[in-house]
Structure 1
Amino acid sequence: MYRRSAAAAVLLAAALTLTGCSSADDGRAGAARTADPKPPAPSSVPDPADATTGPTAAAPPDAKPTGPVLPDAKLTPKTGSFKENEKKYLSGRVPEKTDPAAVLQIGQETCQRVERTAKRDKEAAAAAVISGEVTGARDAITLLCPEQKPVLETAEKGFGDGPRTAPAPGTYRALTQSTTCTWEVKGKDGSVLASGPEAPPKPGDRITATVPAGADRFTSTGCYAWLPA
């Protein structure tokens, strides 16, 4: 693993602010790189970004710089060389005047976090990707740690908290056992088609939601992430 210098870290932080990410997201991403994903509530299955499509929508794509980036010919470390898969990961991802090794390290750290969590519980690792707690997982896993592709495949079947339009019908389970998890399904006329849980959940209860055909909107709060039941 390549070590980034203090100067490179400063340049990287400045450049990444041009990507359009909010300061809140940056703060969350920075904190996420320092520790393994942690569930919001105790669960026998450890808890695993919000989209506005059906519940089977894939995790959001990795963000890349919107400003000038280093051409592939200049993607070289100060010492040694990058592997072919590392070059593919870095292509179009390194802002100008930024050390490519620093950007690569972020992807490697993402892989490490996914791997550490998956060793304990693969579903928890997928949930962390779904919720956005682990960012940049799609390209990192695909190009830097393909052995974790099962985690990514599971994450792409799920969706996170928040409003979703045109949800696919079916039964889903919340990847948390938080007693604050609530959900609601509405039709096109705004009427409530279903909501839950029917009774206040107790610690350890499994929370599920059934989306009927013709639903127009699914909204959940405090449920962290969902997967098909």
Structure 2
Amino acid sequence: MHVRSATASAALLLTAALTLTGCSSSGDAKADAAPASPKPPAASPAPDPADASASPATPDPDAKPTGPVLPDAKLTPKTGSFKENEKKYLSGRVPEKTDPAAVLQTGQESCQRVERTAKRDKDAAAASIIAGEVTGARDAITFLCPDQKPILATAEKGFADGSRANPAPGTYRALTQTTTCTWEAKSKDGGILASGPETPPKPGDRITAAIPAGTATFTSTNCYAWLPA
């Protein structure tokens, strides 16, 4: 009886072991057979320049807040007082719950950057304004550092690298040191009126663009900014 009982127990254990092994093998086989997750596309399509959502407009650095702002009567620093020109700069520019002194400091830093750059290179200072690298340059110069108005006046004659609709005809110079600057002028129907540079520029060469009358779109790449030649 004892021998037969032990033999039966061993058989049951062997059957259970085989069943578990089969289940495990089946699970592994299913896992191995499971299809791999689909890979993401190698690259996304380039945005269409004509799609406004793909190329949002650059915000105006001189634009004032659209939300509630501090009234002029409350434009007071924690200590001392603002000068009259500083008050004019801050008027309508300080959002509620914002320290007016912090906003003023931003304008002063813009002035300092233009002033430092202009001492070395006036064209570079104008280019930094044209390219939008100096925050709120127009109002900062107008109210806080009016001695830099000649630089601002120069900048307002130019335009930034990229695409420009209906540019004024004439000859313009690129404010860049790179030799990879290229440009193209197209008519309303998309025909190429002019392009350049005609010959590969050498380091130190000034790149110019002659924009003919009737140009509907002027597009440049790696040219930073343009000023009348």
Q: TM-score band, normalised by the shorter chain?
A: 0.7 to 0.9
Secondary structure, in 3 states, of the residue corresponding to 1:183?
strand
Offset of 1:202 from its aligned partner? 1.5
Secondary structure, in 3 states, of the residue corresponding to 1:150?
helix
Pick the structure with greater CA Rg.
2
| Alignment correspondent of 2:191 | 191
CA distance in 2 between counterparts of 1:107 and 1:167 reads: 30
CA distance in 2 between counterparts of 1:187 and 1:65 reads: 38
Secondary structure, in 3 states, of the residue corresponding to 1:97?
coil
CA distance in 2 between counterparts of 1:123 and 1:215 reads: 25
**Structure-to-structure mapping, 1:114-153, within 5 angstroms:** 114-153=114-153
In the alignment, is residue 95 of structure 1 matched against residue 104 of structure 2?
no
Secondary structure, in 3 states, of the residue corresponding to 2:102?
helix
CA distance in 1 between counterparts of 2:116 and 2:217 reads: 35
Offset of 1:188 from its aligned partner? 1.0
Secondary structure, in 3 states, of the residue corresponding to 2:222?
strand
| Alignment correspondent of 2:42 | none
| Alignment correspondent of 2:216 | 216
Offset of 1:61 from its aligned partner? 6.2
1:50–1:162 CA contact under 8 A, matched in 2: no
CA distance in 2 between counterparts of 1:173 and 1:50 reads: 23
1:50–1:131 CA contact under 8 A, matched in 2: no
Secondary structure, in 3 states, of the residue corresponding to 1:86?
helix
| Alignment correspondent of 1:177 | 177
2:61–2:135 CA contact under 8 A, matched in 1: no
| Alignment correspondent of 2:54 | none
Which residue identity does 2:199 align to in structure 1? Answer: A
CA distance in 2 between counterparts of 1:68 and 1:171 reads: 44
CA distance in 2 between counterparts of 1:177 and 1:119 reads: 18
The structure, 1 or 2, with the larger RCO (C-alpha pairs under 8 Å, 6+ apart) is: 1
CA shift digits 1:7-60 (9 cap, x unpaired)? xxxxxxxxxxxxxxxxxxxxxxxxxxxxxxxxxxxxxxxxxx979xxxxxxxx5
Question: How many percent identity over aligned positions?
Answer: 83
Which residue identity does 2:117 align to in structure 1? Answer: T
**Structure-to-structure mapping, 1:1-229, within 5 angstroms:** 62-229=62-229
CA distance in 2 between counterparts of 1:202 and 1:132 reads: 27
CA distance in 2 between counterparts of 1:177 and 1:50 reads: 24
Structure 1 gaps of 5+ residues are 1-48, 52-59
Over the residues paired in the alignment, what is the CA RMSD in angstroms? 1.7
Output the TM-score relative to the length of structure 2: 0.73
| Alignment correspondent of 2:53 | none
Structure 2 gaps of 5+ residues are 1-56
1:171–1:210 CA contact under 8 A, matched in 2: yes
Output the TM-score relative to the length of structure 1: 0.73
1:62–1:137 CA contact under 8 A, matched in 2: yes
Offset of 1:125 from its aligned partner? 0.6
CA distance in 2 between counterparts of 1:215 and 1:65 reads: 35
CA distance in 1 between counterparts of 2:191 and 2:177 reads: 27
